[in-house]
Amino acid sequence: MTRSPFTARRTARLARTIALASASLPLLAGAQGAPAAPPAPTPAPATEATARANAAWLERLPFSDRQDFEDAARGLVARFTDQPIRTADGRVAWDLGAYAFEKDETAPPTVNPSLWRLARLNNEAGLFKVTDRLYQVRGADLSNMNIIEGDTGLIVMDPLITAEPARAALELYYAHRPRKPVVAVIYTHSHVDHFGGVKGVVDEADVKAGKVAIIAPAGFVEEAVSENVLAGNAMTRRAQYMYGGLLPRSATGQVDAGLGKATSRGTVTLIPPTDLITKPLDTRRIDGIDIEFQLTPGTEAPAEMNLYFPQLRTVCVAENAVRTQHNILTIRGALVRDPKAWSHYLGQTLHLYGERSDVLIAQHHWPTWGKARIAEYLSDQRDMYQWLNDQALRLLNQGYKPLEIADKLKSLPEPLARKWYARDYYGSVSHNVRAIYQRFMGYYDANPANLNPLPPVDSAKRTIEWMGGAEAVLAKAREAYARGEYRWVAQIGNELVFAAPDNVQARHLQADALEQLGYQSENSTWRNAYLTGAQELRRGVPKLPPRAGSPDLVRALTVPHFFDFMAVRLDADKAAGRNMTLNWNFTDLGQRYAMTLHNSALTYLADAQHAGPTAAVTLTKATLDRMSLRQTTLEQALREGGLRIDGDPAAVTALFGMLDTFDPSFNIVTPHR
């Protein structure tokens, strides 16, 4: 074919649309949330009803048990300074000092005392000696970084979310221990808080030269870059609610994130593994340190593994057992996890390593010492996930609906319910049992009335009209608020706001109700969601520009990932009646794809080419990455020879013109605009 030149207008248009093809890629689990918002209108204080509800928690749980405080402080070598950790351009990547307000042991009335206790424990930050040759850095990010001293160098396990805190964590270690080189990095699983800071601890050139090994479980790369791609814009927005990234750090704002204080906001990086663990049980000897690997796929992450260090008599349970009930389905959104598999692998860990371990570490929170306590901890965590699975299924089979199951299973059974490491700080019985219902039965509860209900705005308008109009409902809602019926006020207040989103009084009452629910919540993510919703009802949604994702994660995306995301972004109405075939040829990968637009659906086949395509695009994956990251334009790529289009260039322009650009600031607590 002869090459058909682009016009300047078409070139510029296609350059913009290709650049936006990855602009909505997620930051994976909310890793780089938006900067904390400036102070919102003054939050309301805790009401008398909230103060009473929070005070009652002091009688419900064993607050006199100080073992966790002893364990969290054990082995402290040095603390971080109060200075924020910054990126190269001066942005704050991490600021533990923002939580100085949590020094008082007594919880303020605006924070659930159980959550306040965990928040203070998560403030035990710095470098800790766990046992000989094993150190842990906590409080530099949401997750922990573990450092194992080999014969000649260091093994770093899980280098946090972003590079700047990871670098600061390693420098804190070096300030108190010999400056040995890092010879290996281990990623315990595929969530960003366990690999994103890798370039803060090692140079990729050293990895490529064979000086540093990168070890990860089978399936790591696929899961690390793909979990949140297709629904990434929505997940990232919802993560702002879950982690409280838009809230001020205060007793009326964000106080904790359950697994740690918050998520860092530095530079997300990725170096692909050089060594994958593929056997269910496998071993390696790294710089004189023996490691036994136990794959645990489909548990807390799709690709995850526990580790055992026989010379150190230490077991690492990754994120499969932490000091909170974890999520079967995180409220930011994800695929539903398998609690039965989760329970099974914890039982296997106990069987394999329980009698051989004097120390248990995890990638969040503080260690556990002593065989008896380790056995109790692992068996309780094992039983917790099994109980959630089985009891949700038992009630499901009796015909109960999701909310009914959550109401019946209000808490774990005793004595498990009184164990601090089984409390609802991150996951919760309420949303976990509903997730299990979803896993087995889907969203539909079998009541035909729920097959095709009205959408939220239409339903709200009719509901409020039938109840006598907005003013009548508002008056009754205020009476309910005065009685402390915040769950009901939030429910009916939501109807009011969706029926009349410009009704300021309705928005403020709804915000007040959500705020009190947040103050009362033991669960950190529920608190953050309630308070973020309240803040946005009062001041609106902060407008954030689309972001091109982490360069390392974009480069790690496969071509099928990119094409799948293009298909998700295709506006079916714009594509109606349009048919075309495109051949894609990636010269650096030796990969060919045949893409088809037909019936407003975009499909493709690998290792295939259309005969007589509408157009053929020849380029390198590196060129696609650079355009996705806005490091070059299509015009530049054409001029420099990094990309060539044969056939009808207008077809390529037209295809990219049919793609949606996702708004990273869509409405949640008010109607979709």
**pLDDT tens figures, 470-497:** 999 999 999 999 999 999 999 999 999 9
Q: Closest Cα partner for 523 from 289, 349, 237, 325?
A: 325
C-alpha to C-alpha distance for 527 and 287, rounded to whole angstroms = 45
| pLDDT for residue 5 is more than 90 | no
CATH of 8-25+557-657, one of 3.30.1050.10, 1.10.10.10, 3.40.50.720, 3.40.50.740: 3.30.1050.10
For range 600-623, the mean pLDDT = 97
pLDDT at position 546 is 65
pLDDT at position 496 is 97
pLDDT at position 457 is 96
SS3 196: coil
pLDDT at position 42 is 82
* Choice among 24-38, 331-345, 620-634 with the minimum mean pLDDT: 24-38
* Choice among 22-31, 47-56, 109-118 with the minimum mean pLDDT: 22-31
Burial of 5 (0-12, 13-18, 19+ CB in 10 A): exposed
Instruction: Give percent of the chain with pLDDT exceeding 70.
Output: 93
| pLDDT for residue 159 is more than 80 | yes
CB atoms within 10 A of CB 513: 27
CB atoms within 10 A of CB 104: 10
| pLDDT for residue 228 is more than 80 | no
For range 424-429, the mean pLDDT = 98
pLDDT at position 548 is 57
**pLDDT tens figures, 231-276:** 889 999 999 999 999 999 999 999 999 999 999 999 999 999 999 9
For range 286-297, the mean pLDDT = 98
pTM (two decimals): 0.93
Identify whether the C-beta of residue 572 lies closer than 8 Å to the C-beta of residue 292: no
pLDDT at position 452 is 96
Of the pLDDT bands very low, low, confident and very high (cuts 50, 70, 90), residue 633 is confident
Do 8-25+557-657 and 453-520 have matching folds? no
pLDDT higher for 260 or 663? 260
Of the pLDDT bands very low, low, confident and very high (cuts 50, 70, 90), residue 536 is very high
C-alpha to C-alpha distance for 120 and 60, rounded to whole angstroms = 19
CA dihedral (244, 245, 246, 247) positive or negative: positive
Identify whether the C-beta of residue 314 lies closer than 8 Å to the C-beta of residue 360: yes
Q: Closest Cα partner for 574 from 556, 548, 600?
A: 600
**pLDDT tens figures, 163-203:** 999 999 999 999 999 999 999 999 999 999 999 999 999 99
**pLDDT tens figures, 74-84:** 999 999 988 99
pLDDT at position 402 is 97
Of the pLDDT bands very low, low, confident and very high (cuts 50, 70, 90), residue 8 is very low
Of the pLDDT bands very low, low, confident and very high (cuts 50, 70, 90), residue 673 is confident
Alpha helices, H only, 136-181: 163-174
For range 506-520, the mean pLDDT = 98
For range 567-576, the mean pLDDT = 96
Which phi and psi (to 5°) does residue 439 adopt? -60, -40
Q: How many residues does the chain have?
A: 673
pLDDT at position 547 is 62
Round the average pLDDT of the chain to a whole number and report it.
93
For range 292-319, the mean pLDDT = 98
pLDDT at position 158 is 98
Cis amide prior to 302 (ω within 30 degrees): no
C-alpha to C-alpha distance for 547 and 299, rounded to whole angstroms = 30
Q: Closest Cα partner for 93 from 197, 178, 179, 185?
A: 197
Instruction: Give percent of the chain with pLDDT exceeding 90.
Output: 86
Half-sphere exposure of 562 (CA within 13 A, CB side): 25
Of the pLDDT bands very low, low, confident and very high (cuts 50, 70, 90), residue 14 is very low
For range 627-651, the mean pLDDT = 89
Q: How many helices (H) does the chain have, and how many strands (E)?
A: 23, 21
For range 643-654, the mean pLDDT = 93
Domain residue spans of the chain: 8-25+557-657, 453-520
pLDDT higher for 509 or 38? 509
SS3 163: helix
For range 96-113, the mean pLDDT = 97
The CATH fold of domain 453-520 = 1.25.40
pLDDT at position 563 is 95
| DSSP-assigned states of every residue in 417-443 | GG-GGGSSSSS-HHHHHHHHHHHHH-S
C-alpha to C-alpha distance for 459 and 462, rounded to whole angstroms = 5
Encode burial over 626-656: b for 16+ CB neighbours within 10 A, e otherwise. bbbbeebbbbbbbeeebbebbbbbbbbbbbb
